[in-house]
Structure formats: structure tokens, C-alpha cells
Amino acid sequence: MRAVIGYEEKDPEITSRMTSGYPRFVQHPLLRQAASHLLRIHQLNDHQLWLTASQRAAHQLSQWLAPVTCRIISDNGLQGVAFPSNPDTFARAKTWLQHAGALPSSRAAEDYLIRVREKPSAEPESIQTEGAEARVRQYLRGAFAPAGDADIFLANSGMNAIWAAYHGISRIQATRGRRLWIQLGWLYLDTIAILQKFSGGPQNYHFHGDVFDLDGLRRLFAEKGGSIAGIITEVPTNPLIQTPDLPTVHQLCKSAGACLVVDPTIASPLNINVLPHADVVVNSLTKYAASEGDVLFGAAIVNPLTTDAGELRRSIAAELEPIYPRDLHRLAAQVGDTAAVVEATNHNAAEIIRFLEGHPRITSLYWTFKEESRRNYMNLARGQDSLGSVLSFTVGGDFAEFYDRLRLPKGPSFGMKTTLICPFIYLAHYDLVNTNEGRRVLNDNGLAPDLMRLSVGCEPSEHIIAALREALA
């Protein structure tokens, strides 16, 4: 926990030892090396630079940083935005790229460094080049039937899929005078940030925190239905693993002319079928499909039966960042394992939940079959055992001591073959954890600062349970 807090507070003793991290939050070393090379060959020693996934993203980032004087530079297929060295500008650029999911792939940076002879060769890895896109699309068609290839849009990250869906729908709905977006439930931090920062002001953003409060949602639609552009929600939500009554929410949106965007990543679309009850589904393929944890990838799927499906396809496609071929090839080599990974993690999660439910130190436990959500979740579940691999819990006593003693891999992602645990609120919302007002906000939304999020992997369940038992002793 000392290292977690040191990372959040940018303690040099901690950050100087970090070689890498989750790619949208910690700049990949290959991206840093490529950026340094670009600055050097352009003789911009007094500048800093952020690489972007495309020229379009570079122009958008430059506009976001205005009135700072920026220079878009490119070389050998790689591009970025350079600006006079300034920590505030650097941080603003990082935040925009994080929200938009518009950073280039580390594999793109690696290939660039090879082309300019700064790196001798690529790191070896298992890939599938023949029919790679067809293989990924085959998986997505199965996960999101009845969507066809025309409805499925690949993105360079799950975050970019959300970004594209939000902006694509917003452009359509703005022509109809609809600008209000509703956040249903406590969602992932960057999804919240997109709604708060890019909606055009607080009058266009409404937080409806209780996913089970349908009466309140109906009142909101009765009052403002003609101005509502859409709802974004996760099924289930992250990190409280709550499932709204999705068919009812979708019907409410349809009746009012609003769009419903659903993210089923936490549970995996192989566990739940959400497309019939959404206008657009966004999914991070970084989770479960890329179960080795070494690819950023995403998809946006338009429900072919939804109103304005054609317009949605065109509008969302125009907002997506390009996918990098080597990422696609690496994903194609893993995606065939997804069904087995989901089955194994479902089984393991059931065993671990039984253990945690019976342990006296567990003070709260959140999972898909929890009583408040079970009926809503089972209406979407593909089977009786489709419970998902992610759960959250709190422990009695010193939670930092528990975390320090716990001999499981620790990290902020999920949906991997490897089990991962993290103090999620500290990592995602440290700005709220370390102030009294922030803790009040967390408390009002049912979020304990010491909430642990566990992503169950494919290791033998008894090994995972043994590690938990040891740390809880």
C-alpha cells in the first residue's frame, strides 16, 4: 500500500523504480524512447512531445492544448504533438490522450524504432497474421449476435470505443437539440471524465447514481426527455458489480428518442447478452479476449435493429482511432482462448465467493449474483454459471496489512488468465480518498475507500483461496 500511495502522490522513491504500467496511465518505455528520438531529430531539445495514434488525433490534441503553441511532427509513420517544456501542458496532454484512448501502440513505437535503427529487432511473440481480422470479427459476431460485420467497429482500445460512441452519438443528437447525457451508476473513471469534460457544461451532464432507481429515472425522462441525448452505463458496474434492469432502461430510452450505450466488459459478453437491450455496445477486448494482458484493443457494436443504425455506424466510425496491425495479429493469436478463459474464471470465481462469504473478516462482498442485482443480471446471463470473474470486497481490520500480506499478483486490470487484485478506489479515485469531501462523495455512493477489486484468473482455485486465507489470518 505504501507503493500504491507513493505512485498516486508521485513519490520519486516509488516512481523512479517503475519501468512501465497500465499504458493509458504510465507512458510505455518504447513510446518514451520514440518520442525522445523525434525531438532529437527535429532539434527540439527544449520541448516535450506526446505521440498520437493518428494525424487526426494529433490535430485534436493540438486544439485541446490551445493557446499553447504546438507543433505536429511526424517521421517514418509515427506522429506526435510537441510543445515548449511545461509540466502543466504535459499533464493536460496526457489526460486528453488517456480519455480519448488515442495513444499509439507500443508495437507501433517498436516498429518505428526498428525503422530508424534505434532498435535492432522486435521482441518475439506469438502472432497470427493470416486471417487475423476475420478471426477477431468471428469472435465478436458470436459475442454480439445478431450484429454483422457492418455493425462491428474495431478500436485501438476499449476507451477509444467509448470515446467514439459518445462523440458519434452526440453529433447526431445535437442536430435534434438533444445534449443531455446521463451517467447511470458509478462507472469507470475515464467514462465519467468524458461525460463531465466533453458534454459542453454541467447542464448537459446528469449523474443518476442508483442503478436500481427506475422511478427516479422515469421522473428525469418525464421532465427532460426531449433534451436527453443518451445514457451510458456498465453492466455490471465497476467496481460495485451492480446490474440495472437493462430492458426497462432501454425501453425508456427508445420511447424518448435517447440512445443507450452499454459496456459489458466487467462480466464479458460471453457471459451476458446485452446487445438486444442497447443501441450501441462498447467493449474492451483488452480484457478476456487478450487474456495474456499484452494488447490494448476495443470494439463498438451498433445494434442493427436500432433506430438510425446507419447514421450511428457512419458517425461512430468517423471517431475511431486506427488499429495497429501487430496488435490485431497478437489479439488474433489469443482470442481463440476466450471461451475457455471465461469458463475457467467463472468456475474459480464461484469457489472463491463461497470462501469469502463464509470468512469472518469479509465485511462486504459485491458480485453479479448478489441479491440486489441477481434478477437483473440473470435476465441477461447466457447460463446459470455465467457469473463473471470480477468481484469486490472489504475486510475488517487493517486493510493495508491484508494487502501487503496477500501473495497474489497485484495490478489494475482484469479479465486475464492471471489473477489480479488492487485497492481499486486508491488507484482510480485517489483524489477522493485523501480529502474529507471526497470521502463523503464515496460514502454517498456506497464506495468504501478500502474496497478491493479481485479479478479471478485461471490458476487452480485452491491456490487463490490459500493466498486469501493466509492474508486474512
- pLDDT tens per residue across span 122-174: 999 999 999 999 999 999 999 999 999 999 999 999 999 999 999 999 999 99
Please give the pLDDT value at position 252: 97
> Are residues 230 and 105 part of one domain?
no
Predicted pLDDT at 139: 98
First-residue to last-residue Cα distance in the chain: 18
Q: Which domain holds residue 93?
A: 2-115
179, 98: one domain: no
Residue 32's Cβ-count burial label (10 Å; 0-12, 13-18, 19+) is middle
> Of 85, 115, 145, which marks where a domain is finished?
115
Question: Quick check: is 185 in a domain?
Answer: yes
Mean pLDDT to the nearest integer, 76-95 = 97
User: Do 88 and 197 have their domain in common?
Assistant: no
Relative orientation angle of helices 29-41 and 106-115, to the nearest 10 degrees: 40
Q: 60 in a domain, yes or no?
A: yes
Residue 274 to residues 288, 369, 382, Cα–Cα distance (Å): 17, 17, 10
Q: Place 261 in a pLDDT band, splitting at 50, 70 and 90.
A: very high
pLDDT value of residue 239: 97
The arithmetic mean of pLDDT across residues 185-200, rounded, is 95
Residue 210 pLDDT level (bands cut at 50, 70, 90): very high
d(CA 456, CA 350): 10
- Quote the number of domains for the chain: 2
**Residue finishing a domain among 86, 115, 144:** 115
All cell numbers assigned to 174? 445535437
pLDDT of residue 255: 97
Q: Any idea what the CATH number is for the domain that residue 373 is in?
A: 3.40.640.10
Residue 218 lies in a domain: yes
- How large is the average pLDDT for residues 17-32? 92
**Residue 120 in domain:** no
Kindly state the average pLDDT of the residues 437-464: 97
- Residues 435-449: what's their mean pLDDT? 96
User: Domain containing 60 — which CATH number?
Assistant: 3.30.70
Mean pLDDT of the chain: 97
* Element at 47 (helix H, strand E): strand 47-52
Residue 391: other Cβ atoms inside 10 A: 24
Q: Is the peptide bond before 67 cis (omega within 30 degrees of 0)?
A: yes
Asked whether the beta carbons of 151 and 280 are under 8 A apart, the reply is no
Render pLDDT for 276-304 as a digit per residue (tens, 0 to 9). Answer: 999 999 999 999 999 999 999 999 999 99
Of the candidates 245, 25, 21, 265, the one whose C-alpha atom is nearest the C-alpha of residue 143 is 265
- 297 and 189 within one domain: yes
Work out the pLDDT band at 455, boundaries 50, 70, 90. Answer: very high
Question: Are residues 89 and 141 both part of a single domain?
Answer: no
Q: What is the pTM of this model?
A: 0.96
Same domain, 194 and 256: yes
Determine the pLDDT at residue 329. 98
Mean pLDDT of 414-442: 96
- Per the DSSP assignment, residues forming a β-bridge with 384 are none
Q: How many CA within 13 A on the CB side of residue 309?
A: 16
Both 318 and 444 in one domain: the answer is yes
Cell representation of residue 356: 469469502
- pLDDT score at 395: 98
Domain-located, residue 151? yes
78/203 same-domain check? no
Tell whether 319 and 468 lie within a shared domain. yes
- Cα–Cα distance, 361 to 392 (Å, whole number): 14
Strand partners, 392: 366, 453
Q: Which of 115, 143, 167 is the last residue of a domain?
A: 115
Is 357 part of any domain?
yes
Q: In the predicted model, what is the mean pLDDT of residues 259-278?
A: 98
Within this chain, do residues 95 and 158 fall inside the same structural domain, yes or no? Answer: no
- Are residues 444 and 371 part of one domain? yes
Same domain (yes/no): 147, 70: no
Separation CA 272–CA 266 (nearest Å): 10
For the stretch 366-391, pLDDT in tens is 999 999 999 999 999 999 999 999 99
Spell out where 163-297 has E strands: 180-184, 205-208, 228-234, 259-263, 280-284
Q: Has residue 443 been placed in a domain? A: yes
